[in-house]
């Protein structure tokens, strides 16, 4: 294994000093699971003069591998289905909703404000405002916290937040040369001018432009960055496969035991009714070991088996002020409390958002890591999760890169993503945040906890963390 990692490192453009340190002195993953025991604080996180924002309920369509049952739909179809499912689940009237916010990453040009189009399609009043936000993989997180701001400030009492992503049909453009030629042709007045423009069109003009998969600022794909991160932190291929297998195994167990209660059935027009996620596929270490590296070849460690897959899906959550929810007769599931957004170096720390977000949001809430009963972290890659755990367990990393005197601390695995995660359930970019929050709320109730921490990384070297508090039973 040491020889393999040495070869990996030699083939990777590692530019950071911490990469050399961690690969030279790898920390065993098991050693990262020991966190100092601290006294728990079970205070409420309500703040004087600030409205409590509650989660009434949330739903999501089944998350499906792109190119499967949803292939003939459009993004707004799934977003509309999530809104209709939320209306059915909560029995709230469309007139009671003050505002709708959705997150998405790759926009369909026909429905650039997918929140508005989905709302109209779901039967909401044309007088209900709706807008769409984008913040890479934390887009629906941004939708939710934007809703929190509207409610906490008193601007709204009832807001629906959600997200949608549709990878089965992404916008593919003509090349820039062809676009320029077509626009020039459109402005031409005479037949002669038009023929002259057409005569200049060359075969390479017809090469299409696909949506970018690389970071604009670094020209590096997220998978390539994940591979470098694993080499930097000494995360082996075996460790990544083990974690991915854990995710699929836990997700299958949760699905079989009925814990994924936020999933609503969706009748695909002209096809069957989809009732569950279709990417959950527990395998074996032997089968996973057969896959070749997906990004850095031939010695990379990130493969299709230990990466999240392209996914179609949508989610929605009903948020209210506590007073409004109680006045309408609802029993909320949870409070949304303090939250933070962070940014860091997109070259060498692209996927370390949770490491930076965790201490900030805990300090903002007046909590410690030991106070957290439930952890729900977005799993972009198994190696991304394991690298974050190593970074969080390192005093050296905390001191040299985070400006902190001591390490963040490592979440215990028995509290971590117990119902699977994005590796197994799927990751529709714009919809994952709501899934994480609903999983946290449901797990708090199921496990008798009080506080949950939701955290996620995102393209551009950004991240998010939010505290979810159990609503009193």
* Residues carrying an active site annotation: 137, 457
Are 119 and 130 a contacting pair, CB within 8 Å? yes
Are 231 and 239 a contacting pair, CB within 8 Å? no
How far is residue 96's CA from residue 157's CA, in Å, rounded to a whole number? 9
3-state secondary structure of 324: helix
Closest by Cα among 325, 32, 277 to 156: 325
Are 431 and 315 a contacting pair, CB within 8 Å? yes
- Cis status, amide bond into 245, omega within 30 of 0: no
Distance separating the N- and C-terminal Cα atoms of the chain: 50
- Burial category of 214 from C-beta neighbours within 10 Å (exposed 0-12, middle 13-18, buried 19 and up): middle
Query: 170 phi and psi, to 5 degrees?
Result: -105, 155
**Beta pairing, strands 311-321 & 158-165:** antiparallel
Are 386 and 233 a contacting pair, CB within 8 Å? yes
- At what angle are helices 382-392 and 222-233 packed, to 10 degrees? 40
Are 357 and 215 a contacting pair, CB within 8 Å? no
Strand residue runs (E) in 36-173: 53-60, 64-65, 99-103, 130-133, 158-165
Are 145 and 339 a contacting pair, CB within 8 Å? yes
Query: How many Cα atoms are found within 13 Å in the side-chain-facing hemisphere of 231?
Result: 28
How far is residue 378's CA from residue 328's CA, in Å, rounded to a whole number? 33
Closest by Cα among 411, 370, 371, 414 to 388: 411
Q: Tokens 């299709």 belong to which residue?
A: 304
In the structure encoding, which two tokens stand for residue 108, read together?
């369909």
Cα torsion 399, 400, 401, 406 to 10°: value is -10
In the structure encoding, which two tokens stand for residue 307, read together?
């990466």
Question: Any residues with CB less than 8 A from the CB of 309 and at least 6 apart, and which?
Answer: 65, 66, 279, 426, 427
Closest by Cα among 153, 59, 145, 62 to 101: 145
How far is residue 359's CA from residue 220's CA, in Å, rounded to a whole number? 28
């Amino acid at each position: 294994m040491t020889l393999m990692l040495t070869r990996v490192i030699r083939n990777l453009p590692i530019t950071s000093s911490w990469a050399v340190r961690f690969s030279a002195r790898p920390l065993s993953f098991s050693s990262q699971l020991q966190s100092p025991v601290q006294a728990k604080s079970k205070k409420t996180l309500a703040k004087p003069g600030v409205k409590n924002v509650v989660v009434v309920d949330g739903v999501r369509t089944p998350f499906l591998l792109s190119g499967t049952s949803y292939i003939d739909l459009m993004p707004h179809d799934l977003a509309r289905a999530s809104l209709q499912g939320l209306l059915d689940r909560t029995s709230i009237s469309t007139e009671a909703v003050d505002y709708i916010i959705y997150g998405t990453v790759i926009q369909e040009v026909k429905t650039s404000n997918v929140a508005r189009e989905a709302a109209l399609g779901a039967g909401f009043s044309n007088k209900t405002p709706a807008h769409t936000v984008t913040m890479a993989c934390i887009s629906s997180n941004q939708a939710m916290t934007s809703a929190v701001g509207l409610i906490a400030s008193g601007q709204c009492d009832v807001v629906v937040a959600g997200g949608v992503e549709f990878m089965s049909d992404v916008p593919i453009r003509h090349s820039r040369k062809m676009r320029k030629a077509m626009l020039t042709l459109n402005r031409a007045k005479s037949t002669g001018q038009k023929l002259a423009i057409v005569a200049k069109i060359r075969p390479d003009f017809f090469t299409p432009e696909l949506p970018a998969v690389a970071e604009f600022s670094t020209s590096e794909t997220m998978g390539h960055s994940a591979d470098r991160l694993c080499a930097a932190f000494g995360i082996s291929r075996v460790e990544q496969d083990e974690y991915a297998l854990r995710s699929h195994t836990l997700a299958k167990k949760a699905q079989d035991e009925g814990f994924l209660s936020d999933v609503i059935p969706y009748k695909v027009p002209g096809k069957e009714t989809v009732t569950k996620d279709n990417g959950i596929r527990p395998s074996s270490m032997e089968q996973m070991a057969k896959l070749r590296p997906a990004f850095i070849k031939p010695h990379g460690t990130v493969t299709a088996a230990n990466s999240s897959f392209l996914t179609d899906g949508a989610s929605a959550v009903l948020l209210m002020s506590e007073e409004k929810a109680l006045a309408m007769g609802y029993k909320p599931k949870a409070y949304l409390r303090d939250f933070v957004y962070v940014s860091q170096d997109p070259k060498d720390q692209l996927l370390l958002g949770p490491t930076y977000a965790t201490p900030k949001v805990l300090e903002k809430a007046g909590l410690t890591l030991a106070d957290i009963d439930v952890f729900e972290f977005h799993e972009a890659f198994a190696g991304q999760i394991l690298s974050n755990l190593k970074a969080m367990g390192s005093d050296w990393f905390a001191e040299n890169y985070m400006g902190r005197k001591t390490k963040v601390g490592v979440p215990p695995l028995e509290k971590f993503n117990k119902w699977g995660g994005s590796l197994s359930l799927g990751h529709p970019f714009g919809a994952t945040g709501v899934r994480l929050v609903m999983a946290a709320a449901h797990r708090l109730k199921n496990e008798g906890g009080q506080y949950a921490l939701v955290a996620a990384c995102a393209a551009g070297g950004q991240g998010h963390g939010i505290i979810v508090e159990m609503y009193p039973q």
